[in-house]
Amino acid sequence: MDVLIVGAGAMGTWFGRATDASVTFADVDADAAAAAAERIGPDAETTALEGTDSYDVVCLAVPMTHVVDAVADHADRAERAIVDVSGVMGPPLEAMATHAPALERASLHPLFAPERAPGSIAVVRDESGPAIDALLEALDARGNDLLGTTATEHDDAMESVQAATHAAVLSFALAADSVPEGFETPIYEGLRTLTEQLTEGTPRVYADIQQTFAGADTVADAAATVADADAAELESLYREAARQWQPERTDDDAEMQAETNDDTTNETTK
pLDDT tens digit sequence for 111-167:
998 888 999 999 999 999 999 999 999 999 999 999 999 999 999 999 999 999 999
| pLDDT for the residue numbered 252 | 59
Residue 209 has phi, psi (to 5 degrees) of -60, -45
Give the pLDDT of residue 260. 53
d(CA 242, CA 244): 5
CA distance 138 to 108: 13
At 155-198, the pLDDT tens digits run: 999 999 999 999 999 999 999 999 999 999 999 999 999 999 99
Q: Rounded CA gap, 24 and 156, in Å?
A: 33
Whole-prediction pTM: 0.88
pLDDT of residue 241: 95
| Mean per-residue pLDDT, 88-98 | 98
pLDDT > 70? residue 89: yes
Give residue 107's pLDDT band: very low, low, confident or very high (50, 70, 90): very high
